[in-house]
Amino acid sequence: MASSESATLLIVRPPCGQEEIVRRARLYAVEYGVPGDCSRVKKTALGKPYFPDMPALRLSVSHSDGLWALALSQSEIGVDLQAVRPCQREAVARRFFHPEEARYIASGPEDRFFAVWTAKESYVKYTGEGITDGFREFSVVQDGRMRDFLHGARLRFVPTLPGYFLCLCGGEEALSIEISGLPSSENKA
Amino acid sequence: MLRVVQEIIYEVTGKQGLTLDTDFVKDLELNSLDVMNIVCAFEERFDVTIPTRDVWKLKQVRDVLAYMSAHGIV
C-alpha cells in the first residue's frame, strides 16, 4: 500500500457482504495504525455508512451491474460506481440535475450523463447528505466542462473496467489512491 | 395497482416477481440511478411529481402503494 498517512484505498470487485467491508477495513487499520474497532458498520439517518467504534476511518460503498466499490480513507470520502447502460437520461437529467448539467448532457455523447451522475453521487456521499431536494441545486459542470473541485472537495474519475464510470470525492488526500481488485490495477493512481 | 407498479419496475429494470414485501435495495439490488429512473417513469405514467425527500421513504413495494393511495395517485 501507499506510504501516505492519508491514502485512500479503493477496492473494486464482484459484490460481497459486510464481512468483506470489515475484513478490508481491518487490513487498512493495521497498515495505517488506525485506532479502534471496525467490526460494526452502521448508517446515519441519511444512509451514510460509518464505523461507530473506529471514527478515524471513513468508508463509502457503491454497486452497479455486478461490480462493487469500497473506498476506505482517514479523511471524508464518497465513491460512486455506475455501469453505462440504457436509462432515461434526459428525463433524469431534467428532473434531478442542475440546468447547467442538463445542458452539458444534452449537448454531448451519452457518457456525459454517467460522468455527471457519478460525480454528483460521489459528492453527496462525501458530504453525507445523500440525494435530497438539494441534489439539483449544485452543479458539477462549469463553463461547459466537468469541475475538478466542488465546494473545496476534489472530484476524481478513476478508470476501472470498460463500460463503467467511477468517481471519487474527497479532500486533497483523496488524490493518493491505492486500487485493488481489478485485473490490471494493482497500482497507485 | 400492484400490477401497475410491477409493470413500471419491469420496464425500467427488467426485474420481475415483485410482491408487497419486496425491498428495492435488499431484494432487487437496485442502486440510486435505478431508483431515479423508476421515479421518472412513475411521474411520467401518472403525471405527478414525487418530492425527492419522499423517494427514500419508499423502501418496499407496499410503501409505494401506500404512498400512491395517500396521494390520490391512480
- Contact of B37 with chain A, judged by CB distance below 8 Å, is answered with yes
- Helix, strand and coil percent figures for chain A, each rounded to 5: 30, 30, 40
> What is the rounded CA–CA span in Å between residue A25 and residue A15?
16
A118 contact B CB<8A: no
Residue A131, phi then psi, degrees to nearest 5? -85, 110
Q: Which residue has the cell 455501469?
A: A83
Testing the interface with A: which of B28, B31, B46, B56 to mutate, by most A Cβ within 10 A? B31
**Which cell is B51 given?**
418530492
Give residue-wise pLDDT tens across range A4-16.
456 788 888 887 7
Is residue B66 within 8 A of residue B37, CB to CB? The reply is no
Contact B40 A92 (CB under 8 A): yes
- Read off the pLDDT band of A53 (50, 70, 90): very high
pTM of the model: 0.89
DSSP string for A62-122: EEETTEEEEEEESS-EEEEEEE-----HHHHHHHHS-HHHHHHHHTS-THHHHHHHHHHHH
C-alpha cell at A149: 473541485
Residue range A124-164, pLDDT digits in tens: 999 999 998 899 999 999 999 999 999 999 999 998 888 99
Please provide the DSSP assignment of chain B as one string: -HHHHHHHHHHHH------TT-BTTTTT---HHHHHHHHHHHHHHHT----HHHHTT--BHHHHHHHHHHTT--
Q: Grid coordinates in use for B1?
A: 395497482
CB-based contact B36 A95, cutoff 8 Å: yes
Give residue-wise pLDDT tens across range A79-94: 999 999 988 899 999 9
Q: What confidence tens digit (pLDDT) does each residue in B2-28 have?
A: 888 999 999 998 888 899 999 998 898
A121, A131, A167: best mutation site toward chain B, by most B Cβ within 10 Å? A131
Which residues on neighbouring strands pair with residue A68, listed in sequence order? Answer: A13, A63
Across the interface, of B40, B44, B52, the residue whose CB is closest to A132 is: B52
Q: What is the ipTM of this complex?
A: 0.85
Vertex A17, ends B31 and A179: CA angle to 5°? 80
